[in-house]
Amino acid sequence: MKYLILCISLLTGILCAHPLLAGSVIDRIQERQALVVGTPGDFPPFSVTTSSGTLIGMDIDIVKNLAAMMKVNIRFERMEFAKLIPALQTGKIDLAVSGITMSPERNMKVAFIGPYAVSGQSLLGKKSLLETITDLKQLSDARLKIAALKGTTSEAIAEKIPKATITRTDTLDQSLMLLLAGKVDALLADYPFCKVAEFRYPDRGIAMFDKPLTFEPLGLAAAGDDALFLNLLTNYLSIMSGSGTLKQLQDYWFKNDDWIKKLPDVEFFKDMERQD
C-alpha cells in the first residue's frame, strides 16, 4: 500500500505541475471527472469478469490506480477486442486495456505506453492432438479446425497454417466454448489465457503447447494526439515499476490462483454464443 500511495503522490505532482498545458484528453477526463477505459473483460489475468459481473485483473488494477492518481472516477466500457482501437480513434474511450500486444500495425493507429508485461501466443487444444505434436510445423500437415479472436495476432498466426479451417470469434470466451464443446480442435490465444483455461478445466481433456510461439510486449493503448496525456501515462508506468507496485501486481495475478475462484464457468454463457 505504501508503494501505491507514493505512486499516486508523485504522479499527482506531475499532473498538477503544468495545468495550462493540459491537452484534449486530459481536459475531457477532468471535465467529466472520469477516466473512460475500454476492455472486453474476457482475458484473464489482465481483464476478466467475475461471476458477479465485476471486472478484475492486472490491467484493471493498473487503470484504477491511474484514476486514483488523477483524482477522478473510473468508468469501464465493455466492448469486443476489435472495437477497442476504433473507440480510441473516435474519442469514445480514453484508454484501452486487455493485454494488448504493441504490434507495429496497431502502433500506426494508436500510441502504446509500456511494455508493462510480456506475453506470447500459445496453442490450447485437445490433449489427443497436443500429445502428437512436438513441433508446430506438424500443424501444417493437419486439417485442423482452429478458433482465433478477430483482429489479433492469434488470427494472423492461424491464417499461416495452410490446411486449417479458421473460426473467427468476437470474444475469447467464444473460442474457449467452441473448444470445450468439441466444435474446434484447438484455439490460438495469448499464453496467460491458455494457461488459466487449462487450470480452470483440468478434467475436460484440453492441454496447451508448452512453449510460447511468439514474443509479445504488452502496453496501454491510447490515442496518439495528446502529448501531455501520453507523457503522464509513461511517467505513471515508470513510477509503478520503480516503486515496486507493478511487481506486486504481477506476483498477485500470475503467481496466485485465489482470484480464479471468482470466475464463472465459461459454458454458463453458451446460450449467448453467436450462431452466425
Query: 145 - beta bridge partners?
Result: 165
DSSP-derived secondary structure letter, 57: S
Q: Which phi and psi (to 5°) does residue 2 adopt?
A: -65, -30
| CATH 3.40.190.10 domain locations along the chain | 2-119+217-270, 121-214
Long-range contacts of the stretch 201-208 (C-beta < 8 A, 24+): 204/180, 205/126, 205/127, 205/128, 206/124, 206/125, 206/126, 206/127, 206/179, 206/180, 207/124, 207/125, 207/126, 207/127, 207/130, 207/131, 208/122, 208/123, 208/124, 208/125, 208/130
Closest to 76 measured CA to CA, from 131, 137, 117, 34:
34
Tell me the pLDDT of the chain averaged across its residues.
87
SS3 (DSSP) at 68? helix
Question: In this structure, how many other beta carbons lie within 10 angstroms of the beta carbon of residue 180?
Answer: 19
* Cβ(205)–Cβ(181) below 8 Å: no
Q: Which phi and psi (to 5°) does residue 60 adopt?
A: -65, -40
Residue with cell 478458433: 147
DSSP-derived secondary structure letter, 132: T
* Cβ(129)–Cβ(209) below 8 Å: no
What are 190-230's pLDDT values in tens digits?
A: 999 998 998 889 899 999 987 788 899 999 999 999 999 99
What are 39-89's pLDDT values in tens digits?
A: 999 999 999 999 999 999 999 999 999 999 999 999 999 999 999 999 999
CATH match for 121-214 among 3.40.50.720, 3.90.470.10, 3.40.50.1000, 3.40.190.10 = 3.40.190.10
State the CATH class of domain 2-119+217-270: alpha beta
* Cβ(99)–Cβ(57) below 8 Å: no
Q: How far apart are the first and last CA of the chain?
A: 48
* Cβ(251)–Cβ(134) below 8 Å: no
What are 105-158's pLDDT values in tens digits?
A: 999 999 999 999 999 999 999 998 888 887 777 777 678 899 999 999 899 988
Cα maximum dimension of the chain: 62
Closest to 67 measured CA to CA, from 98, 26, 99:
26
What are 145-186's pLDDT values in tens digits?
A: 999 999 998 999 889 888 889 999 999 999 999 999 999 999
Note the Cα 193 to chain centre separation in Å.
9
pLDDT tier for residue 9 given thresholds of 50, 70 and 90: low
